[in-house]
Amino acid sequence: MKKTFLKSSAISIVLTVLFVALFSFVGCAKKYNDDIPIKEGYLRTADIHIRDISIVIHEGKYYMYGMYPCSVEDGGYACYVSEDLQYWDPTPHDVFLAEWDENFEGTSCFWAPEVHKYNDKFYLFGTYLSPQTGNRGTGVFVSDSPLGEFKLISDGHMTPHEWNCIDATLYVDEYGQPWTAFVHEWVDEGEGSMCVAKLSDDLTHIVGDVKTIFYAKDPLWSNNKVTDAPYFYKTKDGRLLMLWSNSDLLDNYAVGIAYSVNGKADGEWKHQATTLYSKNIKYAEDGGHPVVFEDMQGNLVLGFHSPGFVNDKSERVEHACFYKLKDTGKTLKIVGQLFNP
């Protein structure tokens, strides 16, 4: 009862501030990278239709994975390649197609391909729908190259087969123990939750129990039953953060931050009261599904897709956005667009 009252009071205050700001400064917000000039033979970041992005840096190039680039519609995973995060080769590269593996069970919902370099190989955590289980889940794929060909190494979904699960990520702790965090979808229980579990050293399966660490409506800033896109980050002072997405109090897709009280993946998690990124007087579009990485110039970068969702009335399709971050030791703060011509 006390928590409900506190959240209700906080919502009223935040909504008042947001509405005053929005109506006072309407027209000030700017869409991402509208001013980047066109370069012949390349696609600009904002020209690429993509969502649920993941970034890998290897041998002087950026590899951007996500939904939509695959040559077979809803039939695998693909990526774009760039040398500067601004201009990308115009043709995406298929890194896994369901038709390449006659024993592969996935048929649709090829979402959120997240790639990590681990023990000198590249591992792709990819969501797909299994007709055998009737559920979505995340499988683990491996390749010697960021361009694939990736091969499934988990026994179908790595996540629990009896659940609908999406957006699994990888975190390796200070002892070298790999962990995963993933979304237990709202369609199963009416409200989405975030779960963590230890992984085997080869990343093929969960070891031990799965722990639910929070629910979609736990943060003060959230206003939806959906959990999306967990991503771990450890600050310079050793604080373990989890960036993730949900809708904010104005029903815009946003990025929030949770932190582990004891610094452990399966510890108690608390939430920052406000979002890291949301649509406001500075940002004309909402966005989410975060990734954090250090670029080749040493900048700490937040990547995500924007707008959050599109429909027939939307002006633009989803595209990647990159913002420069500051690590304060306690949390992360956005400094501004990574490229600001």
Encoded tokens for 319:
């595209």
> CATH number for the domain including 78?
2.115.10.20
Closest CA relative to residue 301, chosen from 311, 309, 290, 310 = 290
pLDDT of residue 28: 41
As a residue count, the chain comes to 341
Question: Would you write out the chain's pLDDT as a tens digit for each of its 341 residues?
Answer: 544 545 555 555 454 444 433 433 333 455 666 678 899 999 999 899 999 999 999 999 999 999 999 989 899 999 999 999 999 999 999 999 999 999 999 999 999 999 999 999 999 999 999 999 999 999 999 999 999 999 999 999 999 999 999 999 999 999 999 999 999 999 999 999 999 999 999 999 999 999 999 999 999 999 989 999 999 999 999 999 999 999 999 999 999 999 999 999 999 999 999 999 999 868 888 999 999 999 999 999 999 999 987 766 556 689 999 999 999 999 999 999 998 64
pLDDT of residue 259: 98
User: What's the domain count of the chain?
Assistant: 1
pLDDT of residue 283: 85
Secondary structure percentages of the chain, helix, strand, coil, to 5: 10, 45, 45
Q: Which domain holds residue 176?
A: 2-337
Q: How far apart are CA 337 and CA 85, in angstroms?
A: 12
